[in-house]
A and B are shown apart, each in its own frame.
Chain A
Amino acid sequence: MRYRNATAYRFLTPYLLIFAIFWIWPIISSFLISFQATRTVPWRFAPTFNWGRLIGDPAFFNALKNTLLILVIQVPVMISLAIVMAVLLNSPLLKARGLYRFAFFAPVVVGEVAYSAVFRLMFSLDFGIVNKLLNSVGLPKIDWFSNVTPAMALIMIAVTWRWAGYNAIIILAGLQSIPDDVYEAATLDRVSKVKQFFHITLPLLKPVIVFCAVLSIIGTMQLFTEPFLITERGGPGGGTETLGLLLYRQGFRSLNFGYASAVAYTMAGLAIAITLVQLWLTREPK
């Protein structure tokens, strides 16, 4: 280390120490713990104990299935919605753009518990506004919390509500970086607005959309708050239990840290794998 840099590193030391103790160490430690049997004291080293259990555990596969199901439905729907919202926000016809931008971004700022509580109220069987609306257009009430399919749908709706605007703002930034004269050239080329969207806007937004998709995939892999608070710990009967919830249940309810660590590493590994596949599928030619 050059002397010149030494002072800088001394200033950084407090941060680096905290980073090492509370970030690096837990990451290494949990990896080691995942190879230990932690149901009995003292913990003992048993490499296949947790990982072996994982492979045959129906609860794990249920959580994995739920997480992936939410992933493949909710992420594309949300990103599509975000693109539509961004295009509308970018329209020169829109008045009070700042207000809409704030409104779209607001859900991210709202506390998780508060928004979950509001969603439980809105979707409640007898008093919820959603069921009232369904009734008023002649549709039957839906019991959102006691059946698996509506409960899953509810989770997806909630997550989409919370994050679509956030993604729309990011996509809007991408939209604004496309120069106007490209569209003017297309207009002179007699390309309709719709074709311009599909042949110019979407391809040029691809990097931004991929970025949003990666963020969303990582977020959804760790999904916890909504199934914990809205559908009450993954209810009905584990029907909306996600990997994040399973981890919580194993680690903090059963205090089975070894198994929880194994689940945590599986989640991270899956997120990385899916992201890599996605980046590879959408890579720039050449």
Chain B
Amino acid sequence: MAAVTLTNVVKRFGTFEVVHGANLDIADGEFVVFVGPSGCGKSTLLRMVAGLEDISGGEIAIGGKVVNDVEPADRGIAMVFQSYALYPHMTVEQNLSFGLRMNGNPKADTERRVKRAAEILCIDELMQRRPKQLSGGQRQRVAIGRAIVREPQVFLFDEPLSNLDAELRVQMRVEISRLHKELGVTMIYVTHDQTEAMTLADRIVVLKAGNVEQIGAPLDLYDDPTNRFVAGFIGSPKMNFIAAKVVETSNSAAVVELVNHGGARLRKPLCEAFPTVGTEVMLGVRPEHFFEAGEGDCDIPVKADVAEHLGSVSYVYADAGPEELIIEREARRQRASSDHFTVSIKAERSLLFDRTGARIR
């Protein structure tokens, strides 16, 4: 078992810098998820921890030992690849035992470890099959099994579920969670799916274009994002951003006018920064944080455009001037009499961002 520490980690491909000084402390036994849009450097960061990519700058330590110049096999890690990377010509059993056999591990111990992994993942029945004869989910299990067999201190997963269908993804997600509890080892997990990140992580690391945007527990990121990018990335459907202008300010609050909503005004209590009157800002409101007319601090009329009915809730895509809002509403069985309705925003359920995207608290 081991903690993982990244200090000012930089990665350059040639002269092209893709990771710009990442700092991160992962505690022993923690489940950390790297999340971010495609191309932001998640895989690169993970592969540097694994030792599959050189580290261009900074330090990575595993279990207190700097591993910059340590061979991948000696880092005490195991990795599950997005494409599974199973050995196509070997049976499941051979796939699991290959590494141990090649290193002259005692036969009895190899068998014990393979058996244990097979039991944990319920793949006993598949041991004599080849990867070609397995379904995607089964291959994924074998890939995880191959990692378990190594008895690593740190598990690395690179988008392990992205090739599976939605249902299987949910099922495997639960299993990975269970595996983490059972083994109690450190896990680093890469995904671009924020739902996966939210459900699995002890802590989430949000990356954007090679920079760490925010690190925190899933609900902290949801409730208290430090900037507009994180606010938009965490939560599904996405947070709405409504253009606003500061029209009044005091030493404990600012009043903003929603410029596209007929001058509706909201008084937002603040404690850190007080923007000057006239500043253009963005008000962030999650779809699930719109209330019935009159229940909040600021009512805005909207016109429903399209609605998605999911059963328990409906997502209404509403035209509100030049802005489109996504509004979560309680699902109603009878047709609404009119497309026009009014929603209300609560000050404590909205977030203020300045024009650069930084949060105003």
- Is A204's CB under 8 angstroms from B79's CB? no
9-residue interface stretch from B85-93, B177-185, B262-270: B85-93
Q: Is the CB of B102 within 8 A of A184?
A: no
Q: Would you call B73 an interface residue if the criterion is a C-beta within 8 Å of the partner chain's C-beta atoms?
A: yes
Mark each residue of chain B from 74 to 92: 1 if its CB lies under 8 Å from any CB of chain A, else 0.
Answer: 1001110101011111000
Is B164 an interface position by the 8 A CB rule? no
Q: Is the CB of A181 within 8 A of B102?
A: no
Q: Is the CB of B87 within 8 A of A200?
A: yes
Residue contact B79 to A185, C-beta cutoff 8 Å = yes
A184 to B51, CA, bound (A): 10
Cβ of B89 and Cβ of A203 under 8 Å apart? yes
Whether B79 lies near A190 (C-beta < 8 A) is no
Complex CA–CA separation, A186 to B77 (angstroms): 13
Which residues in B have their C-beta under 8 angstroms from that of A188? Answer: 50-52, 72-73, 77-79, 99, 150
A182 contacts chain B at the CB level, 8 A cutoff: yes
CA distance A189 to B74 in the complex (A): 10
CA gap between A161 and B73 in the complex, in Å: 41
Task: Say how far A195's CB is from chain B's closest CB, in angstroms.
Answer: 6
What residue in chain A is nearest B150 (Cβ atoms)?
Answer: A189
B99-127 residues at the A interface, CB under 8 angstroms = 99, 102-103
A187–B77 alpha-carbon span in the complex (Å): 12
Residues of B within 8 A of A182 (CB): 85-88
A185 touches B89 (CB 8 A): no
Residue of A nearest to B149 (CB): A189
Check: B98 CB closer than 8 A to any chain A CB: yes
Could you tell me if A204 and B85 are in contact, using CB atoms closer than 8 angstroms?
A: no
Enumerate chain B residues within 8 angstroms of A185, measured Cβ to Cβ.
Answer: 79, 81, 85-87, 146
Chain B residues positioned under 8 Å from A190 (CB to CB): 71, 73-74, 99, 102-103
Query: What's the Cα separation between A179 and B88 when bound, in Å?
Result: 10
Contact B102 A191 (CB under 8 A): yes
Flag if B73 contacts A199 (CB, 8 Å): no
Distance from A185 Cβ to chain B, minimum over Cβ atoms (Å): 4
Query: Smallest CB–CB gap between B56 and chain A, Å?
Result: 18
Residues of A within 8 A of B79 (CB): 184-185, 188
CB-CB contacts of A19-45 with B at 8 A, as 1s and 0s?
000000000000000000000000000
Shortest CB distance B93–A (Å): 14
User: Is A189 within 8 A of B73, CB to CB?
Assistant: yes
Instruction: Tell me which residues across on chain A come within 8 A of B86, comparing CB atoms.
Output: 182, 185
When each residue 170-190 of chain A gets 1 if its CB lies under 8 Å from chain B and 0 otherwise, what string results?
A: 000000000101101111111
Q: Which chain A residues border B71 with CB–CB below 8 Å? A: 190
Tell me the chain A residues, 171-223 only, with Cβ under 8 Å from chain B.
179, 181-182, 184-192, 195, 199-200, 203-204, 206
* Partner among B50, B102, B146 whose Cβ is within 8 Å of the Cβ of A199: B102
Structural contact, A181 and B72, CB atoms closer than 8 A: no
- A213 to B51: give the CA distance in the assembly, Å: 38
Q: Cβ of B103: which chain A residues have Cβ within 8 Å of it?
A: 189-191
Q: Name the contact of B83 in the complex, choosing from A179, A189, A195, A206 (C-beta under 8 A).
A: A179
Contact of B78 with A191 in the complex, beta carbons under 8 Å: no
Chain A hits for B102, CB < 8 A:
189-192, 195, 199
Instruction: Find chain A residues with CB under 8 A from B72 CB.
Output: 187-188
C-alpha spacing A204/B85, complex, angstroms: 13
A191 to B73 Cα, complex, angstroms: 9
Q: How far is the CB of A244 from chain B (nearest CB, A)?
A: 37
B98 touches A187 (CB 8 A): no
Q: Judge whether B81 and A199 touch: CB under 8 Å.
A: no
Question: Chain A's nearest CB lies how many Å from the CB of B129?
Answer: 10
0/1 string, B55-82, CB within 8 A of A gives 1? 0000000000000000111100111010
B100: nearest chain-A partner, CB-CB: A189
Q: Which residue of B lies closest to A286 (CB)?
A: B130
- What chain A residues lie within 8 Å of B150 (beta carbons)? 188-189
Closest to B128 in A: A286
Bound-complex Cα distance A188 to B98 (A): 11
Mark contacts of B139-158 with chain A using CB atoms, 8 A cut-off: 1 yes-contact digit, 0 otherwise. Answer: 00000001000100000000
Least Cβ distance of B112 to chain A in Å?
Answer: 18
A179 to B86, CA, bound (A): 10
CB proximity of A194 to chain B, nearest CB, Å:
11
Q: How far is the CA of A204 from the CA of B99 in the complex (A)?
A: 17
Chain A: CB-nearest residue to B50 = A188
CB pair B52 A187 closer than 8 Å: yes
User: How many angstroms from the CA of A192 to the CA of B72 in the assembled complex?
Assistant: 12
CB distance from A181 to the nearest CB of B (A): 4
Closest to A200 in B: B87
A251 vs B74: C-alpha distance in the bound complex, in angstroms?
Answer: 68
Residues of A within 8 A of B73 (CB): 187-190
Report the Cα distance A181→B150, complex, angstroms: 17
A contact residues around B74 at 8 Å (CB): 190
Q: Which of A179, A184, A189 contacts B99 (CB 8 A)?
A: A189
Q: Which 4 A-B pairs have the closest CB atoms?
A: A189-B99, A190-B73, A181-B85, A185-B85
Q: Which residues of B contact A (CB under 8 A)?
A: 50-52, 71-74, 77-79, 81, 83, 85-89, 98-99, 102-103, 146, 150
10 inter-chain pairs at a CB distance below 8 angstroms, sorted by A residue, are A179-B83, A181-B85, A184-B81, A187-B72, A188-B51, A191-B98, A191-B99, A191-B102, A200-B89, A206-B89
Since A182-B86, A188-B73 are in contact, a sample of 14 more A-B pairs with Cβ atoms closer than 8 Å, ordered by chain A residue number, is A181-B81, A182-B88, A184-B52, A184-B85, A185-B79, A187-B52, A187-B72, A188-B72, A188-B78, A188-B150, A190-B71, A191-B103, A203-B89, A204-B89
